[in-house]
Structure 1
């Protein structure tokens, strides 16, 4: 099964030698699940020919806001709607969660309560899962027909299911402790308030349920194929 990765941002340059870019992190998260991957760097205006260029789609995180005025966001929203119409499986992570919601009629904002950073406990489909958060933006209105299946303190729409084939999550199951530390070292200063960064650093050794979420994501693709 071919998964098209719609890459909506780039990892910090200084972290690339150790972790690879966001598409590599997503592929590594799903390693061993039997998928092949092709990346389309939509953030750099590289788009597939259409929704049937892959059997399923995975939208990455990004430093950009879904509501920002970038030339690649409107065609990405059009592609999301085309994938939805074609009834193909699609998964969104963080920015991916947000842009799917926005493209299908939901609302995304820079949340007035500020950043969520570090290991966070979520309730996803009735199961407690600890996953790494790194976001200020949030979905505050789900699209019509969406089922809200995930929540956390301060994040009321942390995961959604739209129909049988669209699954979105706000946290980052592709982020491990080393990458989180790199973000705290290189992207947080001057952006994330110091108390939040310090708290996230204290939680770097916390066990995260990345593998469990990776299995859920893989199941969405397999069941939707």
Structure 2
């Protein structure tokens, strides 16, 4: 039976896990009802072992976020890079999110590192590029749409063949495509508004330190149905 694999690269904050579920559970909640007949969902924790199955044996791959940093090169993260390269070569459908976005870019010879402008957190608007407006996954989105974001690192240098599909004033690389069915996004389509608020509550001190108003960011959180819809539309490509 074909399997869509969620590669888990980290854990959410304990209070988020307790109230809303861990990263992989947030994805499962969004994907389960739209899963094609005969397809299963499974979870691999990349921190425990590198996937052993051939990428070509899978229906597709989703890579979660993490509180780790790609530039710090955790051994488990580095070990995953050759597997991701093989998945790209095998044209396996992939969607990387946040850490997954940065890891895919780094695996395909780009550079992910700390953003010089600091952290981006909250519900912010993202804008499609011309390529994004014509992309098979993104073309159904409005040109500008809100998305939940929380990241200190970004894709700072594109892989050679990557196409930029979305950007905003903070980050020039909010969404990328690497091949016919391989995408990654800096924003969190799996987050709900309560999860985003919980992240902002935890980040109050860090946000104040960089001159932002946590209360204003929290009050600005709202649902992001366009961004969340990407997960279900991705299933059309697996």
Compute the TM-score of the two structures, normalised by the length of structure 1.
0.90
After superposition, what is the alpha-carbon deviation per residue over 1:55-109, rounded to whole angstroms, capped at 9, x for unaligned? 1110001111111131101111111111112211111011111100000011111
Question: Residues 97-149 of structure 1, C-alpha deviation per residue, up to 9 Å, x if partnerless?
Answer: 11000000111110110111111111132321211010111112111111111
Task: Map 1:199-214 onto structure 2 (within 5 A).
Answer: 199-205=216-222, 207-214=224-231
Trace 1:120-199 onto structure 2 (pairs within 5 A). 120-124=124-128, 125-126=132-133, 127-186=143-202, 188-193=203-208, 195-199=212-216
Cα distance in 2, alignment partners of residues 123 and 32 from structure 1: 28
How far does residue 156 in structure 1 lie from its aligned partner after superposition? 0.4
For the 8 Å contact 1:149–1:158, the answer to whether it is kept is yes
**Deviation larger for 101-110 or 18-27:** 18-27
Q: Is the 8 A contact 1:119 1:208 kept in 2?
A: no
The structural deviation recorded for 1:185 is 2.3
Structure 2 distance, partners of 1:207, 1:129, is 8
Task: Please say if 1:217 is aligned against 2:221.
Answer: no
Moved more, 30-39 or 158-167: 30-39
Q: 1-side partners of 2:62 and 2:83: how far apart?
A: 12
SS in 1 for 2:117: coil
CA contact (8 A) 1:159 1:169 kept: yes
Q: CA RMSD in A?
A: 1.8
What's the counterpart of residue 102 of structure 2? 98
Asked whether 1:30 is paired with 2:31, we answer yes
Deviations 1:139-187 (A, max 9, x none): 121111111111111110110111201011110011111111221223x
Distance in structure 2 (CA, Å) of the matches to 1:41 and 1:110: 24
Q: Between Structure 1 and Structure 2, how many residues are aligned?
A: 220
Q: Is residue 55–residue 86 contact of structure 2 (8 Å, CA) maintained in 1?
A: yes
| Whole-angstrom CA distance in 2 between matches of 1:54 and 1:135 | 29
Instruction: List runs of 5+ in structure 2 lacking aligned partners.
Output: 134-142
Residue of structure 1 in register with 2:76 after alignment: 72
Distance of 1:69 and 1:212 partners within structure 2: 31
Q: Label 1:208 to 1:103 Cα distance change in 2 as closer, same or farther (>3 A).
A: same
Please give the TM-score of this superposition, normalised by the length of structure 2. Answer: 0.85
Q: What's the counterpart of residue 21 of structure 2? A: 20
